[in-house]
Chains A and B, each alone.
Chain A
Amino acid sequence: MMSPNDLSATEVSVSVDGHAAASRVPSTRLLLDYLREDRGATAPKWGCGTGDCGACTVVLDGVALDSCLVYAAECDGSSVMTSAGLETTPVGIAATEELLAAGAVQCGICTPGFLVTIVSGVGDLGPSPTREQIVELLSGNVCRCTGYLPIIEAVQRLAARVNGG
């Protein structure tokens, strides 16, 4: 049990998918662990733990990043969106539909990270992005079973759909 005066703990108030809550967390608590274990937001997944696979990608104050490389203590006063929150937005709904239509989902571990990357990045792609632009956007997310071609196809169709192609 942590003492309230424990210097190794930090008070953080974080909004997760629109729900604000304050709590005291150990200073070494990663944002990913905080989301999953303290906040019950299990959409972001543990993959590599070193920022290489992107399965833990969330949007922190508007920036898509790897939540395994961020301390919860850094996020006091911040707003986090996970794929669970983003998938209910208009772009998130469209992205989900395109990923399903393309068959871009297999085991699903990588999917929440891909969805966050796609939803947060598709707006910058314009209506008809090149394959290279899409690969670049997705380059921080690793999939080990579906493969990338259906995901790229889904992003192509999504970009045309949401960017007015």
Chain B
Amino acid sequence: MKFVRPASVEEAVQVLASAPGRARVLAGGTDLVTLLADRGADVVVDVKRIPGLGDLVADHGGVTIGATVTMRDLEPLAGHRRLAAVVDGARVVGAPQTRRRATAVGNVCRASPAGDTLPALLTLSATATVVGTGGMRAIGLSEFFRSPGVTALADSELVTSLNIPAAGGAAAYQRLTYRTSLDLAVVGVAVAVEVADGIIVDARVGLGGVGPTPLLAHQTADVLVGTDTEDPDALADVLVEAGRVAAHECTPRDDVRGTAAYRTRAVSVLVGRVARTALARTDTHDVA
């Protein structure tokens, strides 16, 4: 295994292109190091010393998360009522030791169906900025995840940042696990809502752990839109209905963390719970 520390994105892309399919990008390494112990690689490209990739730039509700920004680095975004959904996920990844090393871009590139930041990034319409030998392109995250561990990235391509566009409203993410730390989500749910005059005017629902990739539950989101949040009974009914629809938008499978039936039931409960958290956050003000 050859270890390379490129000084620029261009150099990193050249190294990746020189060993198609046999080179791996290393940022935090909290997943990759153990994966490589099993599978190996010809070249490991450590991108941590490339200038600029550690930048986290937030302005007016949008944010750019560089490739080497860690889960811990995202903490300041908790003060923003939409971006807090990503922090909800980042805060439950692994343990403090892993969160200081693991990166958000790494979580995306790992493409685990249960990745904790992925449902929130999906609901916030995040895109990945990608650089390859053919130049730069943006890939929407809803197009990015193909199957467990498989992404839309070409062999020579490197994700340089994630970009979350500015928008209104608030969002939240919660997951179900058997223990708080060092566990993977059985299911994870993110909900983003925008409320005007008490009515939900826009909604997006992201689900994790219930299919081969994290996914957007469009029909569930449609159920939420139009709801009068100031009518407690109507809201309660809609949240139950949203959970019921979400259960139909899942394709979970049985595994060591739970049966498909359990996951389906858990998602239907979590959708309502997370929607309430997101709605509660619409009443808060962003912390500068």
A66 at the interface (CB under 8 A from B): yes
Say which one of A70-78, A80-88, A104-112, A155-163 lies at the interface with B: A70-78
- Find A140's partner among B36, B44, B48, B98 (CB 8 Å cutoff): B98
Residues of A within 8 A of B5 (CB): 76
- A7 to chain B minimum Cβ distance, whole angstroms, is 5
B1 at the interface (CB under 8 A from A): yes
- B96-A74 in contact (CB<8A): no
Contact mask B1-43 → A, CB, 8 Å, 1/0? Answer: 1110100000000000000000000100110011011000000
Interface set, chain B 82-110, CB cutoff 8 A to A: 94-98, 100-101
Interface set, chain B 18-77, CB cutoff 8 A to A: 26, 29-30, 33-34, 36-37, 44, 46, 48
State A8–B43 Cα separation when bound (angstroms): 9
Number of interface residues of A (CB under 8 A): 30
State A80–B101 Cα separation when bound (angstroms): 15
- B37 to chain A minimum Cβ distance, whole angstroms, is 8
- B95-A54 in contact (CB<8A): yes
Residues of B within 8 A of A69 (CB): 29-30, 33-34, 98, 101
Contact A27-B180, Cβ < 8 Å, known A69-B101, A74-B29: no
- Beyond A27-B2, A66-B97, list 8 extra A-B contacts (CB 8 Å): A49-B37, A51-B30, A52-B182, A54-B97, A63-B100, A66-B101, A69-B30, A140-B96
12 A-B residue pairings within 8 Å (CB atoms): A8-B1, A28-B1, A54-B95, A57-B97, A63-B100, A65-B97, A65-B101, A71-B3, A71-B26, A137-B96, A139-B95, A139-B96
